[in-house]
Chain A
Amino acid sequence: MSGYEHLVVLAFSAILAHAITPRVAEAMSALNHVRPDVHKPGRPLVPYSGGIAIYASTMLALLAAALFDTSLAAQICVLAAVASIAFAVGLVDDFKVLGGRTKTLLTLLTVLPLVVAHITLPSHVQLGRPLVPLLGRLRLTIVYWLLLPLVAAGPANVVNMLDVFNGVMPATSLAATIALVVSAYLIEPRGALLLLPLLGALAGYLPYNKWPARVLNGDSGSLMVGAYIGAVAALLHLEFIAAVTLIPHILNGALVIASVGGFKEHRQMRERPVLVREDFKLVASSSQTAPISLVRLILAVEGPLEERQVAVRLIALGIVSSILAVVSALLTPR
């Protein structure tokens, strides 16, 4: 497997996503599957479930990767299965709203392909003993298996919870995926191929979702992307590095869950953490009982901001944590 073939998979995925996304947007508009973009004047209706384009291009690029390197076929099948489960849960939620708890519980199913493959194909799919800085392979023997159900469901849900403004989900996930690709090249170069389909798909999709978005991701996009990142991290033993890339997402998820007392859909929340002013600037709620989120805290520190300005700050925080993830990989003994 040469670098040339890695480039082919990456380019194939990016071109595919860039070509498919406008078609998906047209199809969603034709189905009247649209949502108001609430942070813009006039609340324009924007096609929803753009995650279909990310999923389709990632899966086709994964197929190409399997043809280039058949020794990774088992891991590629596991990734495809994990991503498909998360995508299906998200797509159902996009069309027929699921409750926050139901959706979270359903995403736990993403652990099944990993466990089945680990049991049936132990020579191809080995889980456990994550790589960490300074120590190398961590001696986690029991705890790892207790926490395993969260390995894909956790990232899926925290990525979903930070999918709040145009461009934030694909851009922060792109930064996280780039950090994971660099880490994989430093630690396990063959495994980097598993990340390139997602990297290309996000790069090809981002221009359509960046401000002002021409398509919205939907949970089908955010749940699938998060689950993919978690699953590939487990397959390559990069769980710690993936967690570092997602620190802003984890921080936001923990704040929201702690302040609302559990898993609740934003539609179920009585108060909004962030308010939209008449000039369409966002402002932090000053209510003591409103949910706490990372965006609310950013606005509390800086005062009213436009949607695009908040998105830039969230993406910058994603880049900071991705840099730390690469530093973690550099500090990890081979």
Chain B
Amino acid sequence: MSGLRSLVVFGILIVLVWLSSVALLYAVDTLVVAIVRESWARTVLGLTVFAFWAFGWYLAIITLSRKLISSWAHRANERT
């Protein structure tokens, strides 16, 4: 099972990214594209929503990465 640990962690992460991207597209299409007329304002609004989604994932993944690495460094120090 230990050999599957990284596959489980990053597999779940990939599934979550996929689900959230489908939800994002659906939300943008139904809440922005369907309501706001085609214009630069709609483009900016859509891109802003996308930017928030991307920034949210960026923060989540960087936080997870730092936690995994500091936990690894702690384990490695204990061993030595």
List residues of A whose CB falls within 8 A of some B CB: 132-135, 138-139, 141-143, 146, 240, 243-244, 247-248, 251, 254-255, 258-259, 283-284, 286, 288, 292, 294, 296-303, 309, 313, 316-317, 320-321, 324, 328, 331
Q: Are A132 and B69 in contact (CB under 8 A)?
A: no
Q: Are A297 and B65 in contact (CB under 8 A)?
A: yes
In the complex, the chain A residue whose C-beta lies closest to that of B23 is A134
The number of inter-chain residue pairs (CB within 8 angstroms) is 107
B62 contact set on A, CB distance < 8 A: 255, 258, 292
- Bound-complex Cα distance A68 to B71 (A): 57
Q: Are B22 and A254 in contact (CB under 8 A)?
A: no
Given A132-B25, A134-B26, A286 contacting B73 (CB threshold 8 A): yes
Contact of B10 among A135, A146, A248, A288 (CB under 8 A): A248
B31 an interface residue at 8 Å Cβ cutoff? no
> Chain A's nearest CB lies how many Å from the CB of B78?
11
Q: Which of B9, B22, B29, B76 has the most CB of A within 10 A?
A: B22
Q: Are B29 and A139 in contact (CB under 8 A)?
A: yes
List residues of B whose CB falls within 8 A of some A CB: 2-3, 5-7, 9-11, 13-15, 17-18, 21-22, 25-26, 29, 33, 38, 40, 42-43, 46-47, 58, 61-62, 65, 68-73, 75-77
Which label, helix, strand, loop or mixed, suits the secondary structure of the A interface? Answer: helix
- Bound-complex Cα distance A255 to B13 (A): 14
> Chain A's nearest CB lies how many Å from the CB of B14?
5
B72 contact set on A, CB distance < 8 A: 284, 286, 299-301, 303
Contact of A301 among B25, B46, B68 (CB under 8 A): B68
In the complex, the chain A residue whose C-beta lies closest to that of B42 is A142
> Chain A's nearest CB lies how many Å from the CB of B49?
11
Q: Are A139 and B33 in contact (CB under 8 A)?
A: yes
> Chain A's nearest CB lies how many Å from the CB of B24?
10
Contact of A313 among B2, B6, B18, B33 (CB under 8 A): B6
Q: Are B58 and A254 in contact (CB under 8 A)?
A: yes
